[in-house]
Amino acid sequence: MTARTGGSFILDDPAPLVDALRADGWRVIGPREGDGAIVYDEIETAADLPRGFVDEQDGGHYRLRESGNDRWFDYVVGPQNWKKWLFPARQKLWSATRTADGFDIDPEKVEFPKTALFGTRACEIAAIEIQDRVFDNGDFADAGYRHRRENTLIVAVQCARSAPTCFCSSMNTGPRAEAGFDIALTELEDGGFFVECGSDRGAEILDRIDATAADAAAEEAAQAVTEQAAQMQMRSMPENIAGLLKDSLDHPRWAEVADRCLSCANCTLACPTCFCSDVEDVNDLSGDHTERWRVWDSCFSLDFSYIHGGAVRRSTLSRYRQWMTHKLSSWHDQFDTSGCVGCGRCITWCPVGIDITEEAAAFAAEPAEPADAGGLET
């Protein structure tokens, strides 16, 4: 078959696509069932995919159960996200060895085989595009991140359902991915997949598969699938939240949420756009060998805001406020976009179920007087 960007096809199941990717030399990372959740790990065949599972999500609550049908992708996003692969939790940057007259530096070479991110959802594509701006903004590029992204192919799955924690519709990031993928799959209501080709690289893969061209009815059916997912969404983000938060720095709501917040950092570490890291140096006992590592960090840790003499944000209140105002407000000033894609992970994976949409709604319901920055709690 001859595929081209913008073309669409029909496929019975995802197996030939996984096989074609691997035959073309791509490592395939995709959803798998692991420890009672959907995790992202290497898959060898479509049989590794968690077919027939569906998730149940709410604030601080996640259960994966068998759906009773044989649909492939009825679960939505789980605890992990693609930054695990593109922006690893721990990276060695370089090592150094003492010499007779100084020291030698040995930069760490980033090894990232060409990798297909299989089953990426619309909100996750939006999150990857946000991290692209953070790590590679034209003026500055993280060489390791750029290398990994250049070797990445995205096979999207368009969502057929939403969890109660999903709010991508209100963030304009989903549930239908319009771009940002090489190939996209929509699992149709009556079985079979509507396949969209989003790039020349995607076309090269699709050329290896025996698929039939899709007709207008199939395209309509695919649109209906994501439309149905959008209509299932129960949560949303107030449209004016960015401006609202700027005026709410002294709002009494911060103290209420700080009472419930564990400052455990789960929200930031589960978030697909949070990008903060710490750099640590380690040396061996002899002091002759040193390594520099980059490790995920969180604005919820005390050391995160440590400057000479102490931490700037000592209270949980100030840390929650920093996270939420950065994510939803000052991120726009910094990166021309919200830092939130509406995936709902921070809601589900908060051990006590703090809900960012509920907090945002509270600020919208009772807007505060503009803040007096001099009196802010640290």
What are the residues binding another protein (CB under 8 A)?
34-37, 39, 60-64, 79-80, 84, 89-90, 259-266, 269-270, 280, 282-287, 295-296, 298, 301-303, 314-316, 348-349, 351-353
Smallest separation (angstroms) from another protein to the CB of 287: 6
Whether 300 and 274 have beta carbons less than 8 Å apart is answered as no
What's the rounded Cα separation, in Å, for the pair 211 and 49?
21
Please say which residue, 329 or 357, places its beta carbon nearer to another protein.
357
Contact 195, 211 (CB under 8 A): yes
* Residue 199 or 266 with smaller CB distance to another protein: 266
**Least distance from C-beta 270 to another protein, angstroms?**
7
Identify which of 242, 237, 276, 270 has the alpha carbon closest to the alpha carbon of residue 131. 276
Q: How far is the CB of 179 from another protein (least distance, A)?
A: 29
Residues of 163-184 as b/e, b for ≥16 C-beta within 10 angstroms?
A: bbbbbbbbbebbbbbeebbbbb
Q: Which is nearer to another protein, 55 or 182 (CB)?
A: 55
Picking from 16, 356, 342, 73, the residue whose alpha carbon sits closest to that of residue 210 is 16
4 vs 260 by CB, closer to another protein: 260
Task: Give the phi and the psi of residue 132 in degrees, each rounded to 5.
Answer: -60, -40
Which parts of 101-189 fold into alpha helices (H)?
A: 122-135, 143-150, 168-171
Q: Which is nearer to another protein, 296 or 331 (CB)?
A: 296
The Cα–Cα gap between 156 and 182 comes to 8
CB of residue 211 to another protein, shortest distance in Å: 34
Residue placing its CB nearer to another protein in the complex, 81 or 120: 81
Task: Find the shortest distance in angstroms from Cβ 348 to another protein.
Answer: 7
